[in-house]
A and B are shown apart, each in its own frame.
Chain A
């Protein structure tokens, strides 16, 4: 199956700093990428959807100025958590969808963010 990578896998940052998470599709072109967050023992919550070269579409309740998403190429999307606070600590997962098999999404391994 298709491979999606995320970097870093774990990050600890201080409150008030910004953190960038990268999501790459390694062997296919991802026309659409999705960013999810997951709290312990909870399901995945979609934060935003991004199409290459377009502005991301954010879900209701997700602050677009706090969670900056860039999808500059068909293989790379980034999520930047700006001015992070302890409540932003979570598991962030990206997924990617190619243009061929239109409904199948491939997930990255996730990034564990801890804000101290």
Chain B
């Protein structure tokens, strides 16, 4: 079956660094996405990893280890506006669809 796990909630301080982990078990794998979703809004694309390693994009970085079925999203220099849910999604499964985790709600405090 398909399973994507990530922590339900995290709290961090403005200016700090936070790492959000994601583990997955899917019947196929064509890449892993991270999305940011503010309450009541649609997800917005943050990153895409298909090969092992670290992808850096400004304050956000994403890491993938396919052998371990593991990814993390690293957010640096946290800002209050980073308070949102972060969704890990794997492109896989028998239909080749995007399978979402339940999301991690990040609260950034002053």
Among A93, A103, A109, which residue has the most Cβ atoms of chain B within 10 A? A103
Q: Give the residue of B31, B43, B101, B102 whose beta carbon is less than 8 angstroms from that of A107.
A: B43
Which of B54-62, B75-83, B92-100 lies at the interface with chain A?
B92-100
Are A43 and B100 touching (Cβ within 8 A)? yes
Q: Give the residue of A42, A46, A112 whose beta carbon is less than 8 angstroms from that of B102.
A: A42
**Docked CA distance A108–B41 (Å):** 9
Are A44 and B100 touching (Cβ within 8 A)? yes
Q: Number of residues in B with C-beta < 8 Å to the partner?
A: 22
B97, closest chain A residue (CB): A46
Residues of B close to A107: CB separation below 8 A: 35, 42-45
Q: Which 6 A-B pairs have the closest CB atoms?
A: A107-B42, A43-B102, A110-B42, A43-B100, A44-B100, A109-B42
